[in-house]
Amino acid sequence: MARKIIFWGLLFWLLLPRPVSAYEEQLETQVAAVAAQGTHQVNGRRQFWQQLQLLVTKGSLKGKVISLTTGQAPVSNLPRYRRGDKLLVRYEKDNRGQAHFYVLDYIRRSALIWLFLIFAAAALLVARWRGLGSLLGMAASGAVIFWFLLPRLLAGMNPILAAISSALVIIPLTFYPSHGFNRKTNVAIVGTLLALILTGILAVIFVNAGHLTGLGDEAANDFLIAHGGRMNMRSLLLAGIIVGILGVLDDITVAQAAVIQQLKKANPNLKISDLYWRAMSVGQDHIASMVNTLILVYVGASLPLLLLFLRDPHPAGQIINYEIVAGEIVRTLVGSLGLILAVPITTLLAAVWL
């Protein structure tokens, strides 16, 4: 949940059409037949192979049948394709004009579209108009990330400034459609902004104290190379922490403002101190569950890495020094601190304002 904004932004980016190179293109195909298959030796190991007949359904070769063989390189868990499978194929021409085809991956759009439709239907059926508002807010977040944040990062804008600017746009665009134009939402927005500022300050302090470079994973290194080494990856790491915490702060701040609002409606005679401490008892439960959720989300995303360390044991003190682990620890704990601080800040604001 903490990464939902980044997820939808990347999804919109992937769905947009790409310019096609004169010598390289991605074709959409469907397996018309498996002409042959078997196993052979590749670098001293048994490797499964298939000869596929593929019908091109989209691209410059649409309507043609192409043939390619999989399993020529040593790859673990090579898929076994069946007739009817839809595949994405890279089409290249070498300097002599000879065509080469390589399977890139399955085409999964249909499954993803159906999953999104089911998700949207559930949100509308259960949350009604608020569900519609949340869907609109989600679309707005993706649009801001794709058309505002990512282009400015690529253009060389300071990642922290770009992330904060994006947050200032995303917060009202997501809060108001989901929760309405009212004082409760206003309080939640102010509480979110204050908690976000404090989270950013903590992130700067501990990213610098931990000497994190932002190059803890392969994707970051690949991007830096592709970008010619011109991006400040430490600032990009900080920007990711700021954007990633936005989705969870929404839950915390709106919930606390709503608790204060309902307490005041139930008993208009309650004082500010009474409202604050009664709402904080709810906020404490919220903190416990949300912090645990964040930790489990990050652990779930890092399972392959944790299993790798378990297979090749290292002392715990050595493991946490690796940047790929230390970066996730800083991200998790700084994000959790932001959540914890958001509860008393928003609760106090709501008690005074409402």
- Do 42 and 173 sit in the same domain of this protein? no
Provide mean pLDDT across the span 343-352: 93
- Do 155 and 64 sit in the same domain of this protein? no
- Do 180 and 310 sit in the same domain of this protein? yes
Torsion sign across C-alpha atoms 317, 319, 320, 321: positive
- Do 99 and 248 sit in the same domain of this protein? no
E-state strands within 74-201: 86-93, 99-106
pLDDT at 4 over 90: no
- Do 293 and 181 sit in the same domain of this protein? yes
| 101 close to 90: Cβ distance less than 8 angstroms | yes
CATH number reported for the structural domain that contains residue 223 in this entry:
1.20.1640
Whole-structure pTM over 0.85, yes or no? Answer: no
Element (H, E) at 283: helix 272-301
pLDDT the model gives residue 229: 67
Provide mean pLDDT across the span 217-224: 71
Q: Is residue 10 part of a domain?
A: no
The CA-atom distances, in angstroms, between 150 and each of 25, 29, 139, 158, 238 are 24, 30, 16, 12, 15
Q: Quick one: pLDDT band at residue 348, thresholds 50, 70, 90?
A: very high
Q: Is residue 2 part of a domain?
A: no
Q: Quick one: pLDDT band at residue 1, thresholds 50, 70, 90?
A: very low
- Do 90 and 136 sit in the same domain of this protein? no
Provide mean pLDDT across the span 121-144: 87
- Do 276 and 179 sit in the same domain of this protein? yes
pLDDT the model gives residue 150: 86
Residue ranges making up the domain that contains 173: 128-353
Q: Quick one: pLDDT band at residue 11, thresholds 50, 70, 90?
A: very low
SS3 214: coil
- Do 165 and 87 sit in the same domain of this protein? no
CATH number reported for the structural domain that contains residue 63 in this entry:
2.40.50
Residues 6+ positions from 280 with CB-CB distance below 8 Å: 343, 344, 347
Q: What are the phi and psi torsion angles at 212 (to 5°)?
A: -80, 135
- Do 341 and 204 sit in the same domain of this protein? yes
Poorest-pLDDT segment among 274-288, 324-338, 340-354: 324-338
Q: Which residue has the higher pLDDT, 298 or 140?
A: 140
CB-neighbour burial class of residue 184 (10 A; exposed 0-12, middle 13-18, buried 19+): buried
